[in-house]
Amino acid sequence: MNNIDLVYLDGKFLPAKDAKISPFDRGFIFGDGIYEVIPVFGGHGFRLAEHLQRLTNNLAAISISNPHTQDQWAGIINKLIDNVVTNFPDIIDQMVYIQITRGVAPRDHAFPGKIPPTVFAYADTAPVTKSEYTEHGVSAITCPDNRWQRCEIKATSLLANVLLRQQAAEANVTEAILIRDNFLTEGAASNIFIVKDKLIRTPPKSEQILPGITRDLLVELITKSKFTGEETMITEQELSDADEIWMTSSVKEILPVTLLNGNKVGNGLAGPVYKNILGKYRTYKQSLRDGAVT
């Protein structure tokens, strides 16, 4: 349950306890919907335009017409953010969750006729990235990527990701890093970067991975840094041989993976390239908190 008791549902702002969705909603029955998670730093949405563009792309990919213009979306999101800023002034960072499903219809897999989508959103406190994670890193395991072939869609039907993350949880590690046909794709809920001899690499965008907004920011920061970055396919062997492995997401930000399948990555500590790029990410985040960038 979220800490902040205001949600947006189908055109209305209301207390979470009053928000009701039909059990015949196709989101519930089929997982027929898409979602977004938008970090909010100091009351400012992180790459809001990019998140809204991904939302638009995802709706188009599953043939749901976008219920709102970008300005209307920004209005809804800002109202949820402002509610937190006004009522919970101690909360510095938040996240906004948005979910849109195809709507309520009698059960049939094929699309129903024209029906209104269900639109749900709320803001909550952002999970805090613990400094022990950024300093000492987290552990991960590799797993076969047994998801479907449209992983670029941020779909709410996340059962494969749920099972993979649970496999990681049961192995007492933070993330499952996925391998498809001998190549790294991404994490169960994150994108992955590797570093070898100071060269930073991440898999190119394709139907095999979610086009992460944090990933895109990192690619930009790397381009402006003294390091060379490449968006190229990475083999499982190259992943195992990497000097550094990083995972990125809106929720986890950038974390070093220092133990993979029980083996140390590099010297088993957060690497120098990670620390350098993390510094740039933190500078960016602070300027967003200060209202200087979007």
Pairing of β 93-101 and β 118-125 = antiparallel
Show the site string, 15-54: x = touches ligand PDD by CB under 6 A, - = not.
----------------------x-----------------
191 binding ligand PDD? (CB under 6 A): yes
Report if residue 247 touches ligand PDD, rule: CB under 6 A. no
User: Shortest CA distance to 152 belongs to which of 46, 64, 251, 54?
Assistant: 54
Residue closer to ligand PDD (CB basis): 67 or 211: 211
DSSP secondary structure code for residue 17 in this structure: G
Q: By Cβ distance, which residue is nearest to ligand PDD?
A: 212
Answer yes or no whether residue 248 interacts with ligand PDD by CB under 6 A: yes
- Span interacting with ligand PDD, options 83-91, 163-171, 207-215, 220-228, rule CB under 6 A: 207-215
- Taking the alpha carbons at both ends of the chain, their separation in whole angstroms is 29
Q: Which of 12, 20, 79, 154 is catalytic?
A: 154
Smaller CB separation from ligand PDD, 161 or 174: 161
202 near ligand PDD, rule: CB under 6 A: no
Is 154 tagged catalytic? yes
Question: Is there a contact between 201 and 231 (Cβ–Cβ < 8 Å)?
Answer: yes
Rounded Cα–Cα distance for residues 57 and 51 (Å): 10
Q: Is 216 exposed, middle or buried (0-12, 13-18, 19+ CB in 10 A)?
A: middle
Q: Which of 52, 177, 210, 234 binds ligand PDD (CB under 6 A)?
A: 210
Residue closer to ligand PDD, measured from CB, 8 or 193: 193
3-state secondary structure of 185: strand
Stretch that binds ligand PDD, among 55-63, 73-81, 137-145, 242-250 (CB under 6 A): 242-250
Residues 19 and 10: beta-carbon distance below 8 Å: no
**Least distance to ligand PDD from the beta carbon of 54, Å?**
7
- If one asks whether residue 214 binds ligand PDD (CB under 6 A), the answer comes out as yes
249 near ligand PDD, rule: CB under 6 A: yes
> If 0-12 CB within 10 Å is exposed, 13-18 middle and 19+ buried, where does residue 158 land?
middle
- The three-state secondary structure class of 294 is coil
- CA–CA separation, 197 and 244 (whole Å): 9
Catalytic center residues: 154
Question: Under the rule (CB under 6 A), what is the footprint of ligand PDD?
Answer: 37, 161, 186, 189-191, 210, 212-215, 248-251
